[in-house]
Copies of this chain bind each other. A is one copy, B any other.
Amino acid sequence: MQLSAATPLLSDNLVDEVVGRLKAHIVSGQLAAEAPLPSEGRLAESFRVSRTVVREAMRILRTQGLVEITQGRRPRVKRADPQATIESLDALLSRSTGSLAHLTEARRPLEIEIAGLAAERATAEQLESLAGANRELAAATSLEQAVIGDVRFHRLLAEATGNPIFVLVLETIAQLLLESRRRTIAASGQALALEEHQKILATIVARDALAARAAMAQHMRLIERDLAGAGQAPSP
């Protein structure tokens, strides 16, 4: 019936109330990642609500990527993971008027900045990983492998900036662009993509931020051109 006599309700929903309290606990870091939460029954008991309410609250938290739920096991706090955000953004973008052209347009300045920052900050290990991603791309025998190598290169570049926001935003956009990237690589061939990646990597190894930006800008121009050439077919 009620959560507790001491604390007032903040939401008109019991479910939202439980969600808010659990989220506060998790976000504040009081519960470490992987830490098991009490079972639905226990939570219901301690919140003085029915299991129904707790269940719906846990579902919501799972949707937001905060907890992991498996039948038979106690729920666990999940490590921070952009997947939930990506799905949310995906749902939003697929409903709004954003087209592929809009996505690439927003991607371009980010990639250019990333290239510049990576040139200034990449560690030796990160440089090696980048080279490895390009080797993957070079050795790719299928379109699927080529796309994976391509995505990996750009992701590693974002990581090399040391700024997790870049990784998150780029990963989100990349996910949405995955289909288009498949088309792009098919159109321009992976050879050209590899060549440009090598150029970018070279500027980063040389710690030349300006050149890195220029190389990435060039790369983006190629991608946009190929995308336009392949036609921006709407999703089926």
Interface size on A, as a range, is 35 or more
Contact B95 A80 (CB under 8 A): yes
- CB within 8 A of A82: which of B63, B92, B168? B92
Contact B106 A169 (CB under 8 A): yes
* A160: min CB distance to chain B, Å: 14
Which of A23, A92, A105 counts the most B-chain CB atoms under 10 A from its CB? A92
Q: Kindly identify, within residues 78 to 105 of chain A, every residue whose CB is under 8 Å from any CB belonging to chain B.
A: 80-82, 84-85, 87-89, 91-98, 102-103, 105
Q: 9 closest pairs, A vs B, by CB?
A: A109-B113, A106-B165, A109-B109, A88-B88, A80-B95, A85-B88, A102-B163, A80-B96, A102-B165
Q: Give A contacts to B, CB under 8 Å.
A: 15, 23, 26-27, 29, 52, 55-56, 59-60, 63-66, 80-82, 84-85, 87-89, 91-98, 102-103, 105-106, 108-110, 112-113, 117, 163-166, 168-169
